[in-house]
Copies of this chain bind each other. A is one copy, B any other.
């Protein structure tokens, strides 16, 4: 054991002494940047895709990029022709399966970013399109009733029953209950990734079939639109991160137009969270946090009493973006 420890430390120290590594370039990989670019348009959360909605936009990391974030920013801006408001690193994946895809050039690393914008008309390059993210995750939208898509409850039961041992069956059952808010538990909108991964393991999404994972329901349900590689998993990661983020940091603002009504703002938050919020409490929260101020103008035809228009307060926003807000923005 002791002897085995040496190589790791040794090469770490070589780094530190600025000596180049000779031994066949260990750690050499190719790197690509993948973006989960989100906008909310007309109350629908949308994500930028390419290849008929089957891929997230991605591009190789290039030497001229000053930094990873700058790289992401630069080529996403090239594609969408407008600046990104908010960019945040999501996760880094290394996929051994991609060796083949890269012509034997060693392993590939994908560094994914979450970015927020407003959708601009007619700026997309051919092939790119905005898609409702609930096309990929229909079970995540609880704005119209909390019912899961039809085949899900039975399919989850079948999966739990297919466990090899009683202990595994119990564990599966509990896991499904937590993830999907079954058995009297409440739905937790932040468990997007956990739900996707469970469905993958249970063979209920096409990617699982593609990767040779069995399903215990016939005919096998294939929930939501599939994506190539693990892009849907990355999208799930992005959605989960965004849902968590809006509860403690005022990032919704990046998704809103310069002025908006409080209901507009609420609808956007609801679109992201996939859940409806209590209107009066939402207002109370927003107002008490003093994140917005009246523009003095009123919104046109809302269908009822006209609403005041608001804008964000730049000063407060900066502070909150930096330090976060104490009281959460939404809450089921």
Whether A50 is near chain B, meaning CB under 8 Å from some CB there, is yes
The answer to whether the Cβ of A129 comes within 8 Å of any Cβ in the partner chain is no
Number of interface residues of A (CB under 8 A): 77
Q: How many copies does the complex hold?
A: 2
User: A218 in the interface, Cβ–Cβ < 8 Å?
Assistant: no
B61 touches A29 (CB 8 A): yes
Instruction: Return the contact of A319 from the options B11, B105, B174 (Cβ within 8 A).
Output: B174
| CB <8 Å contact, A50 and B12 | yes
Contact check, B94 vs A323: say whether CB atoms are below 8 A apart.
no
- State which of B5, B30, B58, B81 has its C-beta within 8 Å of the C-beta of A25: B30
A280 within 8 A of B: no
Asked whether, in the complex, the Cβ of A1 is within 8 Å of the Cβ of B174, the reply is: no
Contact between A68 and B81, CB atoms less than 8 A apart:
no
Within 8 A of B (CB), among A203-218: none
Contact B28 A30 (CB under 8 A): yes
Question: Is A322 within 8 A of B18, CB to CB?
Answer: no
Give the distance in Å from the alpha carbon of A190 to the alpha carbon of B31 in the complex.
Answer: 31
**A258 near B: Cβ within 8 Å?**
no
A128-149 contact mask (Cβ, 8 Å, vs B): 1 or 0: 1000000000000000000000
| Residue contacts A-B, CB under 8 angstroms, 25 given | A5-B125, A9-B57, A12-B50, A12-B55, A15-B58, A15-B101, A16-B54, A19-B103, A21-B30, A21-B103, A25-B105, A26-B60, A26-B61, A27-B60, A28-B31, A29-B29, A29-B31, A31-B109, A61-B107, A65-B94, A66-B96, A89-B91, A188-B323, A188-B324, A194-B322
